[in-house]
Amino acid sequence: MPIRTPVASHALAAKLDETIDAALAANRLVGVEVLLAVDGRLRYRRAAGWSDREAGAALAENGLFRLASLSKLYVACAAMRLAVRGELRLDAAVSDYLPYFTPRLANGSIPTITLRSLLSHTSGLGYGFLQPDGGAYRAAGVSDGLDHAAISLEQNLRRLAALPLWHAPGAAWTYSLGLDVMGGVLEAISGLPLAEVVRREVAEPLGLADTGFHAVDPSRLGAAYADGPVRMAERHRMKMAPELSGIAFAPSRARDASAFASGGAGMVGTASDFLVLLEALRRGGEDWLPAAAVAELARSRTDGLEMDGWPGWSHGLGFAVLRDPAAAGLPAGAGSWRWLGAYGHGWLVDPARGISLVACSNTAFEGAVGAFGAELIAAVYAGLDRQDEEAA
């Protein structure tokens, strides 16, 4: 979907401007870019705040962001493209493609981990930042994909494969390095680096010139900030909870073309490119990815399992799917899709309302798991409802 001059009602623009301005004025965000499409038309676009506050550089439209877990959707779509062509089987074992990847359960048995379980975070893998200080992942030098570890993707996956699973595959939903493992699978199947696979399967067909695994133009990549907000140091750790080891951020990783391609957290791109991806998925039925494949991505794989921190949601193959809007505390319709990125991002697609929304900020964690995301979604629906009332 080409990004054109937005067409928004006064009510819609006013609600979104008010929400963004309040977050900036309260120093909850340093900078943010928000794009909203409704029924395939761009209805709102705004870049506000600072790209580099200390240098006095404003955040401009089409700047680059460290995408963190927004990367997962690109890799999931690349995998689905290969599945549509019959080049991989989602129900196949990971070890069919990566023979060394045979992690054990605590009892020593080796269960079957499928590609589908990688995408749905039901594989039994986890993330180091979800373990206490001194946890097994940190002790083994496993990278979560946001630090600047001087290792290869295969080295990271071999370290991961040597550690026990957290639980049997399918027994629970645990946010994990599954998309990093999927990246290794895609490399094994194609014989290409993951960056080339994503370029070939997603970026090039959709015309995403600014999306990849490092900054194509470092001058367009601003600073990264932590809640406070304070400018992130080159090595900056943020904890999700006091008892956990926390996420190890390394902002300069995004400028290093030699950093290993983390399929779960390592990409760099623009909010406008990401909106194009969301719109391609929302529309479905096109040559790039058939409607049946999009439906496969959006089908719940976690029925009967609780998603910790996500009340009212289930998980498909690459993103969360809204089951119960009341439990989630959001005005979006059941069947909506959503995910977040730790550097300060969030997105939502409501297929029933034709809504695609992306907000990329430079402030972790507020732009992702803070109040801003829910406030922005509420403003979108309030503005659209008011617009409909005015038109009636």
**Contact indicator for 76, 318 with CB cutoff of 8 Å:** yes
| pLDDT band of 216, cuts 50, 70, 90 | confident
Q: Could you tell me whether strands 247-249 and 267-269 are parallel, antiparallel, or unpaired per DSSP bridges?
A: unpaired
At 247-305, the pLDDT tens digits run: 999 999 999 999 999 999 999 999 999 999 999 999 987 789 999 999 999 999 999 99
- Residues 126-159 have pLDDT tens digits of 999 999 999 999 999 999 999 999 999 999 999 9
Q: What is the dihedral of CA 168, 173, 179, 184, to 10 degrees?
A: 0
HSE on the CB side for 360, CA within 13 Å?
29
**9, 51, 69, 120: the active-site residue:** 69
Domain 10-68+211-229+270-391: top CATH class: alpha beta
> Pseudo-torsion of CA 31, 244, 306, 284, nearest 10°?
40
Q: CA 218, CA 44: separation in Å to the nearest integer?
A: 26
* pLDDT at residue 5, as a whole number: 54
Residues 172-186 have pLDDT tens digits of: 999 999 999 999 999
| 335: pLDDT strictly greater than 70 | yes
DSSP assignment of 80-145 equals HHHHHTTSS-TTSBGGGT-TT--PPPTTS-----BHHHHHHT-SS---GGGSPTT-HHHHTT---S
Backbone angles phi, psi at 267, to 5 degrees: -90, 165
pLDDT of residue 100: 98
8-58 pLDDT per residue, tens: 678 899 999 999 999 999 999 999 999 999 999 999 999 999 999 999 999
Element (H, E) at 13: helix 10-25
At residue 6, the pLDDT reads 58
Residue 4: pLDDT band (50, 70, 90) is low
Residue 94's SS3 state is helix
Q: How far apart are CA 74 and CA 54, in angstroms?
A: 32
DSSP state of 130: G
347-361: pLDDT as tens digits: 999 999 999 999 999
Q: Are 257 and 215 in contact (CB under 8 A)?
A: no
**Token output for 214:** 């490092």
Distance CA 392, CA 389 (A): 5
Answer yes or no: is pLDDT of 392 > 80: no
Percentage above 90 pLDDT, the chain: 94
Catalytic residue at 51?
no
